[in-house]
Amino acid sequence: MRLESGAAPSRWDSGLNQIRSSLTFWAPRLSTFVAVATLIEFLSLRLLIRLGPVLPRAQITVTITETLMLIGSIALTFAFLLVLASLMMAAWQTSRHSLRYGIVAVIVLTIVLALAGDAPPPFLFVAFILSALTTMCILLWSARQSKSYMGWLAFFLAAYLALAYPTIVNTIHATSPYTAEARGLSELLIVLATLAAPFILLRPRREWIAALVGIIGAILLAGLWFSVQWLPPTLMIWSVALTGYLPAPIYILAFGLWLYTFTSLMKRENTRRQALGLALIALGGLRWDLSYYALLVLLGFLLLSGAVNGLDKNPDEHPKPA
């Protein structure tokens, strides 16, 4: 039975409103927890494993390494569960049916893949990749941002569309031309999007402390790159699947600009969502051979798009890029 105009809301409506308010409170905090857990996993697992050959063989080093890897494994589990919870919150709170269906499809396929074990049917993983890409397309379509911001987001989407081709080909064990070129294009687009980030997200303000962080980071990476030339490309390819085929100065500049942009965005509460989105896409990298990495990228893209912001306030209240 419909409520007459001015009638008090039912207990059911009141309960739903309380749930929505609670989710609105926890959603941005949950994204922060995802980023922290993923960073711990990144440092303790992805980087530490590849640094093993250059670490001393002392017993204390072995003990510390094993402890950090255990911490990283726990963080990986938490990050995976938290990113699923964040996507569930987004699906619950968005009023866009197409976006809700896309996110739910990704979550369901992720759970099915997890239950399928170490060797799921290839068609399941292909369906997961296509669902993630479709959801990213819906997010871009739903975003209400400036033309320059939308164009910048399109670089990220194009990068993962290009990456999907070799990923799907490898998943179905097919032989197809231009897979290496598609992966190279994906890397180029991600690097270009990173180089453009401060000009899109920070215009026209300048942050000197953030600039100092970016400069120091770039100098440290340059020093490492030119003193131990094999190490940065090795860490890049095994941690975020960047092959390093572009000239080294481009990656050094991109890293410095990424640090500058991330630090600047984190300093302000109204742009912290964008900082977390950048961080999750960076930590997800260009590895879509595992659902975990694809979920990180999807959540990062969702945060950057603002299509589900805090989540689903009045679209006119969405913060515009600076």
Answer for the pair 36, 71: CB distance below 8 angstroms, yes or no: no
pLDDT at 312: 38
pLDDT in the model for residue 9: 57
The predicted pLDDT at position 58 comes to 73
Quote the pLDDT of residue 304. 94
Low-confidence residues of the chain, pLDDT below 70? Answer: 1-28, 52-55, 204-205, 309-322
- Is the bond preceding residue 70 a cis peptide, omega within 30 degrees? no
The 10s digit of each residue's pLDDT in 99-142 is 999 999 999 999 999 998 888 899 999 999 999 999 999 999 98
pLDDT of residue 174: 87
This prediction has a pTM of: 0.86
Neighbour-count burial for 23-50, b at 16+ CB within 10 Å, e otherwise: beeebbebbebbbbbbbbbbebbbebeb
In the chain, how many H helices and how many E strands?
A: 12, 0
142 to each of 22, 94, 134, 270, how far by Cα in Å?
Answer: 24, 11, 12, 20
pLDDT score at 208? 87
Q: Where are the domains of the chain?
A: 20-317
Closest to 186 in 3D by CA, of 158, 213, 207, 212 = 158
pLDDT of 17 reads 57
What count of other Cβ atoms lies within 10 Å of the Cβ of residue 263?
Answer: 18
pLDDT at 112: 94
Instruction: Give residues with Cβ within 8 angstroms of 81, minimum separation 6.
Output: none
Assigned token pair, 276: 């977390």
pLDDT at residue number 20 = 56
Q: What is the pLDDT of residue 120?
A: 86
pLDDT for res 322: 43
